[in-house]
Amino acid sequence: MARVVVVTPNPAVDVTYGVADQTPGESHRVDSVERRPGGKGINVARALAALGHDPVNVLPLGGGSGAWIAAELAALGLAASVTPITGLTRTCVAVTDRHGHPTVYNEPGPVVAPAEWRTLLADTARLLADAEMLVVSGSLPRGTDATVITDLVAVARAADVPVLLDVSGASLTAAARAGADVLKPNAHELLEATGASDLDAAIAAIRALGAGLVVVSRGTDGLVAVDDHGHYSVPAVAGVAGNPTGAGDAATAGLAAALLDHAPITEALRQAAALGAAAVLRPVAGEVDLDAFHSFLQR
C-alpha cells in the first residue's frame, strides 16, 4: 500500500479520563485512564495504518513526554522520524462521562526554534523521495509562524507529491496561498479563517487564494467539497454515538486513503464520513472500528 508522510506540528501525550459525571468546581473520581501518543497527525497515521497504508510520522519531540511518544509509536509498529527539540512536548486531556460529551483541555505546546523547524523540513523532504502523499494535520505550537505551513507545501511541490492539510487559522490561509492540493477544515474553522458570512462564500474565498480541492466537515450535516469540476456532498452516518474526539482525524485518513486510490470525489467523501463515524465508536482518539467502517460503507 501507499507510503504516506504525516507531519504532526504539535504532537501530544493524549490522556483520556473516564468519569461518571462532570460537575465544575467539584473533585471527581476517575474510573478509567487511557494514555496514547496523540496530536491530529498521529491520529491520522494510526487510522491510515489500520486501513493498510504505510504512514511515517514526522514529529518535533522534546523532553520525557516526547521520548514516551517515540517509544509508544515504536511499540505500535508505526514509523517515526523525530526532530529533537529543547521544549517539552505537551499533554492534552479529554474527560468523558456517561453522557458521551468529552471536555478537552489542549496545552498550547512548546516553543520550537527556527533551526528545529529547518531540520524537520529537511527530514520531510528526504522522506518524500519515496512517498505518494504528504499529510499535515494539527495546530502549530505557540509562537510558530504560519510560514512553516507554506514551507511544507513547497517541500511537497518540489517532490511532486500531493499535499493534504487539516489545519486552521492563519495556517489554513497560508496553505491555500501556497497552492495546497487538498484542504480539509471543518465549517467553523473555514468561516473563522475567511471571515465569510456563509459556508459557500467561505469555500469560494479559500479557493480564490489558490487551494485546489476543499473538503469541509460539518459534523452531523456531513461533508461538502468543491474543486474545479463541481460541488459534492455526502451525509453523515446516522445513529452513531460515542466519543467524537479524533473523528475528524479519522475522516482525514479516510479521505487521504481514497484519494491515494484515485477514487472519485463522492466516493472519497463517503469513505471519510464512514471512517470518521467508525472512530466515534472507539473510546480513544486514533482508533477506528474497521468492521463498522465497512458496514457504514454498505449503507
Q: Give me the domains of the chain, ranges plus CATH numbers.
A: 3-12+38-89+111-297 (3.40.1190.20)
Confidence class of residue 1 from pLDDT cuts 50, 70 and 90?
low
State the CB neighbour count (10 A cutoff) for residue 197: 9
State the first-to-last Cα distance of the chain, in angstroms, to the nearest integer. 26
3-state secondary structure at position 272: helix
Task: Please give the Cα distance from 209 to 69 (Å, whole number).
Answer: 36
Q: What pLDDT does residue 25 have?
A: 86
Q: What is the pLDDT of residues 114-152, one digit of tens each?
A: 999 999 999 999 999 999 999 999 999 989 999 999 999
pLDDT at 21 over 90: no
Catalytic residues: 249
Confidence class of residue 2 from pLDDT cuts 50, 70 and 90?
low
Task: Please give the Cα distance from 174 to 210 (Å, whole number).
Answer: 10
Task: Please give the Cα distance from 35 to 264 (Å, whole number).
Answer: 37
Q: What does pTM read for this prediction?
A: 0.92
Q: Choose between 273 and 100: higher pLDDT.
A: 273
